[in-house]
Structure formats: structure tokens, C-alpha cells
């Protein structure tokens, strides 16, 4: 006897596997005849029709890095909130207080991150 | 069903790979990868040991929830340090970060 | 009898871990690390810890891998890592690794730990949040630890932000 | 007694006609996902054209050019596959294909009727949302791999946008979990038939969760990178963004992944807010789920005709202040709806 939910998971993983195989096969079947010796002009990056200058991976946006950090924090917060919400009716007020404190403490770094991200001269 | 010792074996291999990376690599990001691997080995071990009893110890799962959260924050701080080091030195090779050496 | 699902997931985990350390390009290393995290999540599912697996996918693959990729792309291509110089370090590592692998092998061969039985209703998801917030039996719950975790998170985030921002020259 | 070796032909027929295989292969699985993605492409073009007082595709087939996207598929499939110089081939090829797989994997979790579902996971909703979290990684890798400036800008924009709007999406769906007391999507649908009671009538979760539903709709449009939140592929600014360098079939895959995502998010909205397959009258459950999903798809497409595009800093500030605050407020309101207002 296996636990409830485990065979479902196997179906699901199988479904994803079948998807992958099907899409790859379709791609291989439909893949068009390739040019064996493409000219350099053909292989040049498109870049909105202009001649590419310099390295491709420049123009980095770092100003919004604080938001990325807040995403890490709030990912953790929302996973804990999910655990609380699942069992709200039996946990009741006694279990809600710690979660409430947890969320409200984590509002402070959000304020700091917003303040930093809105000042481009910091980055 | 799979014996628990197989899970311990996977955990030990992850730990060994992580330790190997920590001792032999020089790039700071690579060492961060190793630390994450060691974290994962520990988490896997805790979950596997919590299944040793039937019904399983739910405390093991809760410890792993905390551990994952802390590992995420450790990665965030570590990467911030790497960004700072890159800004100051334009290199993240740990053996070249020796400006504090007298 | 080895479960084929276990074999596939474990192989993906181990190969991902080795690639994460050894892949030449750091972006490939980060992607391989993501595969390892996904494999560990799969092993959690095989151990009936489904919520922990979802947590692992969301936090590790959703957040940590993205953050690592962002930093790797910011830092740009590394100019080739120099090979190991200190022979002593590599020797130590080799001894350590072989010792670990020996222990692992003996663990697998001896049937020290029995197979896991399916847990059915006792693996109920509701139990997790119940224990987390209120505790069960003599255990008083993890509310204090949760608050401590929130303070650690605040400290870590403010520290990381302060480190990463640039000081304006006055 | 010797076991007869099973006849391969009859075994194949048996497997091919088993309900699980039919579900995976036809509906709600592979074949239907492909056809629906093609039809949604047509619907998107047609409705947007009507909003802008144009006609839209009309030549392929008498029914208002309904076969236009199939014709496009054939055209794009026979285009030459040009991979730009210095591009990272592995991630360049992998990202759009894996995006399609991810979208199709989301469909596998949706219950279209009590029987028509591929997997009935006990942690269905978190798994759906956790899979959605994987997509910024893919878009970032796609933008990085092309080694060109506009795709890289698009990839980074997508990273900030999708991670920023992920959090209100999660927090707004927490309200549903609080009301239903389960992560299982089938149980969430069932909870809506016996769930919230107001004026002696059972209501779907859109009534007590109206604020959450609005936040969910807005953030899911942002996750799908559609107007007004299509900054990562903004055509006038950065020329399709991360899709700029994709040739023929890979461009089709990237676009198709977007439409599969539109379908999956509309189906999830139907499931958790609009009562899924529940509905009045003698009509079958399957009809109701498909009907409501279609309505949601049309609503999202109409948004495209009605709005302009926001700027990246505005987008992120709204997401992290207004939407996040409203989502937390929604959780508080839901808590008081369930537990009652405490007497002070």
C-alpha cells in the first residue's frame, strides 16, 4: 500500500516526460533544412538591423537588485503563510499571532529596499 | 520500497562533492555552489532520518524548512559579498582578494 | 529491489552536483546546480515530504538559482580558473572523498536501515502546520524559532543591501 | 502451465484506449494543448483587430481565417534555422522548448471535470505556483544565450518583472487556501459547492475573494508578459526583447509557450475562483470548465486592446507597494471572514 498521492505524482512526472519527448520529436521532424556553410553575414546577430558593436551581454540593469533580494525573502514568507493557511481553522488565533509578527517584522526591509531602488544614484 | 541507506548514500556523495569543491576551487561563486550542495546533503539526511520511525517525525521536516530559509539568506548575503568584491577588484578569485594582508 | 524512480532521480542529483562544480562556464554550473536542487526535491517526495519538496522548488530553484544566475551574469566570464597548486590540499581532499564514499558504500551494502513503509494518513499535510505553529504533545511549537528566523532574515537582507549598493563619493 | 507471451498488437490497443493514455494524449493532454494554443493565437489576433477597428486574419478557411495559425505554423516550420554567431547553442535551443513543456505541465494539474484530470496532487496549488517560478530563469537564460543586446535587456526586464509579481500572485491565492482548507485543486473546487454562504446561497470564491481575484488576474497577466505588462518583449522599444534573435520554429515555440501559459492561467483562475467545473443546469461539468476558461481568456485578450504599456520602474513600484499591500490586506480580510472579528 503506497501513500495517497504518490501514484498521482508518478502520473504527473510521466505526463511531463511524455510532453518533453513529444515536443522534441515534433521539433526534430519539423526542423527545416539547414544551411551547411552559412555566410558570416547570415550568422551575425540581428540587433534591430544595425551592425552589432561591442560585446553582446552589456547593458546590465542592477538598479532593481533590492527587489530581487526581497523576492528571496518573500518567497520564504509566502511558503510559511501557505502552511499556516492550510490549517487555519484548527490553528486558530493562537497560531496566527506568530505568523502575524513574522510578516510584520519583514515589512521593514521592504521599506529599505524600496527606498534604495528608487534612487538610481545608489547603483 | 527503497531502503533508507540509499538516501544516505546520495547524501554522502553530495557532501563529498561539496567538500571537494570547497577545498579545490578558487572562484568565490564556485565555493558558494559547494556550500549549497553541503546544505542539501544535510537536509536530505535529516528528512531520511525522520522517516526512520513510523509515523515519521514531523519535526525533521520543520527543521528542514528553517534550514532551507537560512540557506537562501546565506546565498543572498554571499552573492552580495561577491558583487562587492567584483566591484572593488574586478575579479572573484579568492586568492587574489588579499588586500587586507599586511 | 531498487526503485527505478529513485535510481533516475539519484543519478540526476549526483551528476548535477558534479557538473555544478566542474562545468567550465559558471552559467552551466548554476543550471546544473538547479538540476541538483530539483533532484533533491524529488528525493523528498519519495520520502513522503511533499510540502518540503514544494518549499525546496520554490525557494531554491525559484529564488536562489535566479539570484546566482544574476550574479554570474553580472560578474561576466571568469578568465579561466587556475589549476590546483597545493598538492597537499588535493591529497587531503582525495582521502576525505574516498573515506566518505567508503562509508556510503558500506551503508548501502549492509541492511542497517530497513526500507521505508508508506505512511498513509500519518503523513497528513495538516500535521505539519499544526506542529509548526502549535506543537504536538510535549512539544511547544516553533513560534519562537519563527520569530528568530524573521530577525535573521531582516539582518541578512539589510546587510546584503548595504554591501551591494555603492557609496557616493561626497 | 506456461504463460503465453502477450500479443503485442492487442496490448498496444489496450494501452492506447486506456483512460489515462487518452487523457495524456488527447484531452486535457498533448493534442488539445497544441490545438488550443494555435486557436488562442488566432483569437488573440482577431479580437485585438476588432478592438482596433481592423478585420484581422480572414483568408485561410471560410470561418474568419480560423486556420491562419496552422498556416503560420507550416510557414515557420520550413524557415531556415539560423543560430547567431557566438550564441550559446545549448540554452538558446533549450529555453523555448522547455518553456512549452513547463506550460503543458501546468495544464496537467488542472481538474477540468471530476474525471478529466491528469494528476490529483495533494499539493497541487503550491506545485503550480512553484512551476511558474521557474519561468523567469528560462527567460533570463534565453536572453543571455543569444549574446545580443536587446534580448539580454528583455531577459533582465523579465527577471525583475516576473519575480516581483510572483509574490502578490502567491499571497492572493493564499486567501483561497484559507477558505478551502486544502491545496488540492479538486478539493478547492468541491469546497466552492459547499463553501461560503451569504444570504442563504453558496457562492464561488470570487465573491468573498473579490480583492484576491483582481490581484490574481493582474499579476497573472504580468506573469504571462502580455500588454500592459509586456516590457520583456516590448516591440517598439526593444524589438520583441528576448525573442528577437529566435529564428523560424524556435520563435513559434517561444510564442506558443506564451499562449499555453495564457490557457493555463485562465484555467487556474476558473478553478480557484469561478467554481471550476461546477455550474447550474443539466450541462456536463466539462462544458462549464471550458466555457469559463474561454471567458477568462477573452477578458485577458481584451486587456491587450484597452491599455498601454507601463514603465519598468512604475511596474516594479506598483507591484511591491500597492499589489503587495492589497494582497496582505486580502489575507487579513479573509481571516476575519473566517474567524469572525475578535471582541476587544
In total, how many domains does chain D have? 1
Q: Region C62-79: what's the mean pLDDT?
A: 82
> Would you say residue D6 has pLDDT above 70?
no
Residues C70, D137: C-beta atoms closer than 8 Å = no
Residues of C in contact with A9 (CB under 8 A): 45
A10 and B CB contact within 8 Å = no
SS (H, E, C) chain D: CCCCCCCHHHHHHHHHCCHHHHHHHCCCCHHHHHHHHHHHHHHHHHHHHHHCCCCCCCCCCCCCCCCHHHHHHHHHHCCCCCCCCCCCHHHHHHHHHHHHHHHHHHHCCCCCCCCCCCCCCCCHHHHHHHHHHCHHHHHHHHHHHCCCHHHHHHHHHHHHHHHHHHHHHHHHHHHHHHHHCCCCHHHHHHHHHHCEEECCEEECCCCCCHHHHHHHHHHHHHHCCCCCCCHHHCHHHHCCHHHCCCCHHHHHHHHHHHHHHHHHHHHHHHHHHCCCCCCCCCCCHHHHHHHHHHHHHHHHHHHHHHCCCCCHHHHHHHHHHHHHHHHHHHHHHHHHHHHCCCCC
- Looking at residue C170, its pLDDT comes to 45
Residues C133, A5: C-beta atoms closer than 8 Å = no
Closest residue of chain A to C136, computed from CA coordinates? A91
State whether CATH 1.20.120.1200 applies to domain C1-79. Answer: yes
CB-defined contacts C:D, below 8 A: 55
C-alpha distance from C152 to closest chain A C-alpha (Å): 10
Residues D167, A118: C-beta atoms closer than 8 Å = no
- Report the percentage of chain C scoring pLDDT > 70: 72
Higher-pLDDT residue of B20, D230: B20
Query: B4-96 has which CATH code?
Result: 1.10.287.3510
- Looking at residue C40, its pLDDT comes to 92
- Looking at residue B41, its pLDDT comes to 92
Residue A95 in any domain: the answer is yes
Residue D314 in any domain: the answer is yes
> Would you say residue A3 has pLDDT above 50?
no
Q: Please name the member of C70, C113, C149 whose beta carbon is closest to the beta carbon of B52.
A: C113
User: D197: which DSSP letter?
Assistant: E
Rounded to whole angstroms, how far apart are CA atoms D259 and D335? 35
Residue D213 in any domain: the answer is yes
Residue D344 in any domain: the answer is no
Question: Containing domain of residue A115, as a range?
Answer: 56-123
Per-residue pLDDT of D83-110, as tens digits, reads 777 777 788 888 888 888 888 888 888 8
Residues of C in contact with B76 (CB under 8 A): 67, 156-157, 160
**Contacts with B, C 69-88, CB within 8 Å:** 70-72, 74-75, 78, 81-82, 84
Closest residue of chain B to A1, computed from CA coordinates? B1
- Looking at residue C122, its pLDDT comes to 54
D242 and C CB contact within 8 Å = no
Residues B72, A72: C-beta atoms closer than 8 Å = yes
Cell, residue B45: 539526511
- Report the percentage of chain D scoring pLDDT > 90: 1
Q: What are the boundaries of each domain within chain B?
A: 4-96
Residues A71, D167: C-beta atoms closer than 8 Å = yes
Q: What are the boundaries of each domain within chain C?
A: 1-79, 124-170
Between A2-11, C144-153, D271-280, the lowest mean confidence (pLDDT) is in A2-11
Residues of C in contact with D130 (CB under 8 A): 54, 57-58, 61-62
Cell, residue D9: 498488437
Residues of D in contact with C54 (CB under 8 A): 123, 126-127, 130
Residues C40, B40: C-beta atoms closer than 8 Å = yes
- Looking at residue B40, its pLDDT comes to 93
Is there a contact between D321 and A118 (Cβ–Cβ < 8 Å)?
A: no
Instruction: Work out the pLDDT band at A1, boundaries 50, 70, 90.
Output: very low
Rounded to whole angstroms, how far apart are CA atoms B25 and B6? 28
To test the contact with chain D by mutation, choose from A10, A12, A73 the residue with the greatest count of D C-beta atoms within 10 A, namely A12
Report residue C145 CA to chain centroid gap.
Answer: 21
Residues D144, C50: C-beta atoms closer than 8 Å = no
Residues D130, C54: C-beta atoms closer than 8 Å = yes
**Contacts with B, A 81-110, CB within 8 Å:** 83
Per-residue pLDDT of A78-110, as tens digits, reads 888 888 888 887 777 777 888 888 888 888 888
- H-run or E-run covering D201: strand D201-203
Per-residue pLDDT of D262-309, as tens digits, reads 889 999 998 888 887 887 777 788 888 888 888 888 888 888 777 777
Q: Region A25-33: what's the mean pLDDT?
A: 64
- Looking at residue A5, its pLDDT comes to 46
Between A67-76, B55-64, C128-137, the lowest mean confidence (pLDDT) is in C128-137
D abuts A (3+ Cβ pairs < 8 Å) = yes
Same domain, residue pair A28 and A61: no
Rounded to whole angstroms, how far apart are CA atoms D287 and D301? 21
C-alpha distance from A2 to closest chain B C-alpha (Å): 9
Residue D19 in any domain: the answer is no
Around Cβ C18, how many Cβ atoms within 10 Å? Answer: 18
A75 and D CB contact within 8 Å = yes
> Would you say residue D214 has pLDDT above 50?
yes
pLDDT along chain B (102 residues), means of 10: 78 85 81 91 89 76 89 90 80 70 54
Q: Region A114-119: what's the mean pLDDT?
A: 78
Question: Containing domain of residue D249, as a range?
Answer: 27-339
- Looking at residue D65, its pLDDT comes to 76
Amino acid at each position: 500500500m503506497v501513500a495517497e498521492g504518490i501514484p498521482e505524482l508518478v502520473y504527473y512526472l510521466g505526463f511531463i516526460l511524455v510532453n518533453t519527448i513529444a515536443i522534441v520529436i515534433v521539433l526534430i521532424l519539423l526542423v527545416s533544412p539547414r544551411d551547411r556553410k552559412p555566410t558570416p553575414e547570415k550568422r551575425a546577430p540581428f540587433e534591430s538591423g544595425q551592425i552589432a558593436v561591442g560585446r553582446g551581454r552589456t547593458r546590465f540593469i542592477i538598479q532593481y537588485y533590492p527587489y530581487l533580494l526581497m523576492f528571496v525573502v518573500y518567497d520564504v514568507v509566502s511558503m510559511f503563510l501557505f502552511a499556516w493557511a492550510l490549517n487555519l481553522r484548527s490553528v486558530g488565533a493562537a497560531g496566527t499571532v506568530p505568523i502575524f509578527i513574522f510578516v510584520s517584522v519583514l515589512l521593514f526591509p521592504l521599506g529599505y529596499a524600496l527606498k534604495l531602488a528608487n534612487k538610481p544614484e545608489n547603483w | 520500497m527503497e531502503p533508507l541507506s540509499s538516501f544516505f548514500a546520495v547524501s554522502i556523495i553530495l557532501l563529498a562533492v561539496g567538500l571537494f569543491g570547497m577545498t579545490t576551487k578558487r572562484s568565490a561563486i564556485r565555493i558558494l555552489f559547494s556550500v549549497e550542495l553541503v546544505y542539501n546533503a544535510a537536509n536530505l539526511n535529516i528528512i531520511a532520518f525522520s522517516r526512520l520511525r513510523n509515523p515519521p517525525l514531523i519535526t525533521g521536516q520543520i527543521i528542514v524548512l528553517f534550514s532551507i530559509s537560512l540557506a537562501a539568506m546565506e546565498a543572498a548575503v554571499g552573492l552580495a559579498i561577491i558583487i562587492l568584491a567584483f566591484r572593488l577588484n574586478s575579479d572573484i578569485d579568492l586568492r587574489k582578494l588579499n588586500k587586507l594582508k599586511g | 529491489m531498487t526503485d527505478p524512480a529513485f535510481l533516475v532521480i539519484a543519478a540526476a542529483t549526483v551528476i548535477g552536483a558534479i557538473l555544478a562544480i566542474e562545468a567550465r562556464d559558471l552559467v552551466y554550473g548554476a543550471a546544473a546546480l538547479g538540476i541538483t536542487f530539483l533532484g533533491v526535491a524529488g528525493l523528498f517526495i519519495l520520502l513522503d515530504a511533499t510540502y518540503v519538496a514544494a518549499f525546496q522548488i520554490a525557494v531554491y530553484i525559484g529564488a536562489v538559482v535566479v539570484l546566482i544566475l544574476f550574479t554570474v551574469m553580472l560578474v561576466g566570464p571568469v578568465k579561466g580558473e587556475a589549476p590546483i597548486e597545493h598538492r597537499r590540499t588535493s591529497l587531503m581532499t582525495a582521502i576525505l572523498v574516498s573515506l566518505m564514499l567508503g562509508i556510503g558504500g558500506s551503508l548501502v551494502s549492509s541492511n542497517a536501515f530497513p526500507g521505508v513503509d508508506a505512511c498513509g494518513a500519518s503523513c497528513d499535510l495538516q500535521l505539519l502546520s499544526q506542529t509548526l505553529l502549535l506543537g504536538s504533545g510535549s512539544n511547544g511549537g516553533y513560534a519562537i524559532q519563527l520569530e528568530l528566523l524573521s530577525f535573521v532574515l531582516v539582518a541578512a537582507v539589510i546587510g546584503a543591501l548595504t554591501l551591494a549598493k555603492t557609496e557616493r563619493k561626497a | 502451465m506456461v504463460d503465453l507471451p502477450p500479443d503485442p498488437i492487442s496490448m498496444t490497443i489496450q494501452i492506447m484506449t486506456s483512460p489515462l493514455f487518452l487523457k495524456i494524449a488527447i484531452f486535457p493532454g498533448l493534442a488539445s494543448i497544441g490545438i488550443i494554443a494555435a486557436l488562442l493565437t488566432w483569437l488573440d489576433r482577431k479580437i485585438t483587430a476588432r478592438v482596433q477597428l481592423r478585420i484581422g486574419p480572414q483568408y485561410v478557411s471560410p470561418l474568419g481565417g480560423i486556420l491562419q495559425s496552422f498556416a503560420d505554423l507550416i510557414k515557420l516550420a520550413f524557415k531556415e534555422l539560423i543560430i547567431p554567431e557566438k550564441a550559446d547553442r545549448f540554452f538558446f535551443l533549450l529555453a523555448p522548448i522547455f518553456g512549452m513543456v513547463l506550460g503543458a505541465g501546468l495544464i496537467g494539474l488542472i481538474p477540468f471535470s471530476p474525471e478529466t484530470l491528469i494528476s490529483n496532487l495533494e499539493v497541487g496549488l503550491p506545485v503550480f505556483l512553484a512551476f511558474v517560478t521557474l519561468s523567469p530563469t528560462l527567460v533570463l537564460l534565453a536572453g543571455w544565450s543569444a549574446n545580443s543586446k536587446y534580448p539580454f535587456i528583455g531577459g533582465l526586464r523579465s527577471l525583475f518583472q516576473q519575480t516581483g509579481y510572483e509574490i502578490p500572485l502567491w499571497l492572493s491565492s493564499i486567501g483561497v487556501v484559507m477558505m478551502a482548507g486544502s491545496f488540492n485543486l479538486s478539493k478547492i473546487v468541491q469546497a466552492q459547492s459547499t463553501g461560503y454562504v451569504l444570504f442563504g446561497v453558496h457562492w464561488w470564491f470570487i465573491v468573498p475573494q473579490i480583492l484576491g481575484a483582481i490581484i490574481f488576474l493582474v499579476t497573472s497577466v504580468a506573469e504571462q508578459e502580455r500588454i500592459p505588462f509586456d516590457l520583456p518583449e516590448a516591440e517598439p522599444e526593444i524589438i520583441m526583447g528576448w525573442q528577437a534573435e529566435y529564428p523560424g520554429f524556435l520563435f513559434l515555440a517561444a510564442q506558443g509557450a506564451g499562449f499555453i501559459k495564457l490557457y493555463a492561467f485562465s484555467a487556474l483562475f476558473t478553478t480557484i475562483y469561478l467554481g471550476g467545473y461546477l455550474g447550474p443546469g443539466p450541462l456536463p461539468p466539462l462544458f462549464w470548465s471550458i466555457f469559463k476558461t474561454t471567458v477568462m481568456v477573452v477578458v485577458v485578450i481584451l486587456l491587450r486592446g484597452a491599455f498601454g504599456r507601463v514603465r519598468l520602474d512604475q511596474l516594479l513600484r506598483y507591484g511591491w507597494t500597492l499589489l503587495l499591500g492589497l494582497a496582505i490586506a486580502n489575507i487579513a480580510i479573509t481571516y476575519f471572514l473566517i474567524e469572525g472579528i475578535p471582541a476587544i
